């Protein structure tokens, strides 16, 4: 009760703790058993953050048992997190143009079309409606929206991590996308917006322990034309149609400096777009549902503003022609506007910093609807 992360803790128990500990009596569990759970997670390739969460889940349970005097001590307190190589690479984030390509794609097979459309709709909601986390998307209900007459003027973001639901205005661009998904589901007024689509709980059960990252990258690979659909086989060719571009490799496979795109990238894109739009930190943190400014700051490391050095911060230098090669003079001459005065053939050119393209917040998509 009162634990915002209870569902995730149950999932960690089921996936990592119980398979290792089995049905051991709680008073028989020692630090060596706890260490074995964490080492198993490390060997499975889990990140340091995931292993930290697993340890905290175990610590919470054993701390309660210790307070109730059911065990003599908390065995987790004696165990440190094993050393795990930390991946400090930036996470790839789709540009608006790439997002439009992804949303315009439709699966050629009717059986798989609805799951793809669900992921596309989830991507739009996460990108435009408060940067919802994946857990928030799974918990989102139709009751949270103003569904009367399909207006979708406002809605409540669940914010499961902080357990503080937040009332937000639904952007005009998102309303027809939500309305289209709502009509496809039969205009419900209750129930989950994005329920499971397969199995016994299809249409009503909440997704648990589901990662959409691999499915997203698979959809993008096909949307970018890297795979070919074979209608006679009802399957995709395993051999790529063409060689990936450097940008596609960055998004789908990752590089030495960038991790591949995942579903949390929509939240990153939302936060970065707020920073590029000159929204102040307090307002941006509130719109994204962050509990403190430190959490918001972690998303801003690779925004356009953080990549471009302001001209005022650069040294006031001139580059003399005598010190340049022919190639350098060609590059500088192309970057300097022509002078109308007689001093056009001056012996020096001002050095200008390179600029990076800034992503825009608007885009046109086809998601079975027309946007103006």
Half-sphere exposure of residue 169: CA atoms within 13 angstroms, side-chain side: 3
Beta bridge partners of 141: 192
**Residue 105 confidence (pLDDT):** 95
pLDDT digits (tens, 9 = 90+) for 16-46: 888 888 888 988 999 999 999 999 988 888 8
Could you give the 3-state DSSP secondary structure of residue 342?
helix
Residue 266 neighbours by CB under 8 Å, 6+ apart: 123, 126, 127, 131
Residue 35 neighbours by CB under 8 Å, 6+ apart: 79, 82
- Span 209-213, mean pLDDT? 83
Structure-token pair, residue 241? 């149609």
**Residue 371 confidence (pLDDT):** 40
pLDDT digits (tens, 9 = 90+) for 64-86: 999 999 999 999 999 998 888 88
- Answer whether 160's CB lies under 8 Å from 139's CB: yes
* CA distance linking residue 47 with residue 8, whole number of Å: 16
Determine which of 3-12, 17-26, 153-162, 318-327 has the lowest per-residue pLDDT on average. 318-327
**Residue 338 confidence (pLDDT):** 55
- Answer whether 130's CB lies under 8 Å from 289's CB: yes
Q: Is 282 exposed, middle or buried (0-12, 13-18, 19+ CB in 10 A)?
A: exposed
Give the number of other Cβ atoms within 10 Å of residue 270's Cβ: 22
Structure-token pair, residue 307? 């990549």
Does this model's pTM top 0.95?
no
**Cα separations in angstroms, 239 against 228, 251, 279, 352:** 9, 19, 45, 45
């Amino acid at each position: 009760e009162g634990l915002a992360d209870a569902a995730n803790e149950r999932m960690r128990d089921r996936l990592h703790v119980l398979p290792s500990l089995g049905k051991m009596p709680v008073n028989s569990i020692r630090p060596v058993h706890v260490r074995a759970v964490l080492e198993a997670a490390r060997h499975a390739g889990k990140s340091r953050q995931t292993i930290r969460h697993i340890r905290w889940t175990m610590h919470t349970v054993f701390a309660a048992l210790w307070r109730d005097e059911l065990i003599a001590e908390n065995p987790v307190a004696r165990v440190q997190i094993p050393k795990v190589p930390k991946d400090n690479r930036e996470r790839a984030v789709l540009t608006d143009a790439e997002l439009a390509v992804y949303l315009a794609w439709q699966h050629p097979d009717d059986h798989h079309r609805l799951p793809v459309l669900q992921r596309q709709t989830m991507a739009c909601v996460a990108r435009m409606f408060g940067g919802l986390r994946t857990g928030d998307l799974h918990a989102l209900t139709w009751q949270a929206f103003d569904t009367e007459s399909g207006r979708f003027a406002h809605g409540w973001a669940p914010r499961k991590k902080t357990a503080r639901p937040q009332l937000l205005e639904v952007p005009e661009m998102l309303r027809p996308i939500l309305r289209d998904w709502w009509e496809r589901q039969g205009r419900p007024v209750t129930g989950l917006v994005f329920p499971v689509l397969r199995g016994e709980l299809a249409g009503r059960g909440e997704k648990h322990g589901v990662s959409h990252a691999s499915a997203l990258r698979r959809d993008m690979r096909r949307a970018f034309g890297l795979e070919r659909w074979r209608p006679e086989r009802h399957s995709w060719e395993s051999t790529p149609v063409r060689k990936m571009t450097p940008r596609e490799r960055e998004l789908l496979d990752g590089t030495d400096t960038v991790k591949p795109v995942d579903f949390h990238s929509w939240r990153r894109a939302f936060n970065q777009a707020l920073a590029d739009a000159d929204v102040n930190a307090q307002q941006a943190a509130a719109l994204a549902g962050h509990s403190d400014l430190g959490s918001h700051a972690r998303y801003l490391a690779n925004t356009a503003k953080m990549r471009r050095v302001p001209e005022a911060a650069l040294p006031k230098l001139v580059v003399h022609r005598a010190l340049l090669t022919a190639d350098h003079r060609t590059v500088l001459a192309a970057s300097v506007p022509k002078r109308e005065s007689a001093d056009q053939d001056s012996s020096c050119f001002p050095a200008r910093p390179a600029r990076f393209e800034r992503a825009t917040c608007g885009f046109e998509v086809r998601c079975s609807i027309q946007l103006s």
